Amino acid sequence: MSYALSDKDPQIQVVIRALQDRYGISSFAITDHWVSEYDAIGISRVDNRKVLAYIAAYDAPASFFVSLELPPPKGSEMLYTDAGSHDTEDLESVLQIIGEHLGLKATV
């Protein structure tokens, strides 16, 4: 586990391990613009770090918030384009949302 993950909430660590198990360890990159946030992390496509998913974990009840970003339109001054957000209590839903957003293919 990398230094960034060791400082993260155990639920975030579970999500990252599940993503690695399903899609492969090198299928996405940790692009954590929120290093100081214990209960959140960012992951992106390996080939385009502007295709990003921000994941936050909440303890009571155990749930997740996933915010999706895409690159901004050409010529835009925006940093990203909002691609939607999801609240869920289900780890499987988190894996599917992120897999679809990043265009990942399951290895198992």
pLDDT digits (tens, 9 = 90+) for 17-45: 999 999 999 999 998 887 788 899 999 99
Beta bridge partners of 58: 63
pLDDT in tens, 42-96: 999 999 999 999 999 987 667 999 999 999 999 999 999 999 999 999 999 999 9
18 in Cβ contact with 91 (< 8 Å): yes
> Positive or negative, the Cα torsion across 58, 5, 51, 75?
positive
| 65 C-beta neighbours (distance < 10 Å), count | 16
pTM of the full structure: 0.89
Q: Cα torsion at 6, 10, 14, 19 (round to 10°)?
A: -50
